[in-house]
């Protein structure tokens, strides 16, 4: 039963069906499937699959957006249960995430933010097309443990480097771990710009943040 509900959640997201996503999120809770498992092995897998198809040119942006909306619909059922069960727990750490300047995609970082919140992190999702200066200002304001920089376009990857350089100039680089992600990014690029880590997908990003905060 568990696997079939998880498959239905994945399918709902891939079909961009928000009603079906809500229906099976509720069924997951009724069947005592841990909400985090429903997210990571159901909803998130659906978005990842659509994201892969989008990167291969097999689906259009509208389908990617619909998948993101369907995931959010299912999350609206599951996240309150997770937050309720963790109310007594302290925050695991603070994370700022945003999409770099010139880039307006949001789904990838939104999924990362949602999964991090589910793991007990305090997440500040500061949006898309964020300037280097704004990232630095927000690091000063929120004092995060980790800063996540997302870029979906090859042309905007240099903006990830620019943020790191601005943090160094402001004397803040030693205070925050910086991770990068997005379709065109790689571990080699992460090493080149002196980031603290690279994640190729949302689940890996969450593991990376947990590891960096623990260390």
* pLDDT tens track for 24-49: 999 999 999 998 889 889 998 888 78
Predicted confidence (pLDDT) at residue 89 exceeds the cutoff of 90: no
Domains and CATH numbers, the chain: 2-85 (1.10.1240.10), 94-214 (3.40.50.280)
What is the DSSP pairing of strand 122-125 with strand 177-181?
Answer: unpaired
Band (pLDDT 50/70/90 cuts) for residue 179 is very high
Q: Is pLDDT of 156 > 90?
A: yes
- 15-24, 54-63, 141-150, range with the lowest pLDDT: 54-63
pLDDT for res 86: 65
**Average pLDDT score, the chain:** 90
What is the model's pLDDT at position 51? 75
Torsion angles phi and psi, residue 148, rounded to 5:
-110, 125
Instruction: Strand 122-125: give its sheet, edge to edge.
Output: 122-125, 94-99, 146-150, 177-181, 197-199
**What is the end-to-end Cα distance of the chain in Å, rounded?**
38
């Amino acid at each position: 039963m568990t696997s079939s509900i998880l498959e239905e959640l994945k399918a709902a997201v891939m079909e961009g069906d928000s009603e079906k996503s809500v229906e099976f999120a509720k069924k997951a809770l009724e069947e005592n499937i841990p909400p985090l498992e429903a997210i990571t092995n159901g909803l998130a897998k659906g978005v990842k699959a659509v994201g892969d198809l989008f990167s291969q040119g097999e689906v259009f942006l509208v389908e990617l957006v619909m998948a993101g909306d369907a995931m959010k619909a299912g999350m609206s059922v599951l996240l309150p249960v997770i937050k309720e069960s963790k109310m007594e727990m302290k925050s695991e750490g603070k994370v700022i995430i945003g999409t770099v300047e010139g880039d307006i995609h949001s789904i990838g970082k939104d999924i990362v933010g949602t999964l991090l919140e589910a793991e007990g992190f305090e997440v500040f999702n500061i949006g898309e097309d964020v300037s280097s200066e704004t990232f630095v200002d927000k690091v000063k304001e929120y004092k995060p443990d980790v800063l996540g920089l997302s870029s979906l376009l090859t042309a905007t990857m240099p903006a990830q480097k620019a943020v790191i350089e601005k943090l160094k100039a402001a004397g803040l680089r030693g205070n925050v771990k910086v991770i990068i992600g997005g379709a065109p990014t790689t571990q080699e690029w992460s090493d080149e710009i002196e980031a603290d880590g690279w994640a190729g997908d949302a689940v890996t990003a969450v593991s990376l943040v947990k590891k960096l905060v623990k260390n």
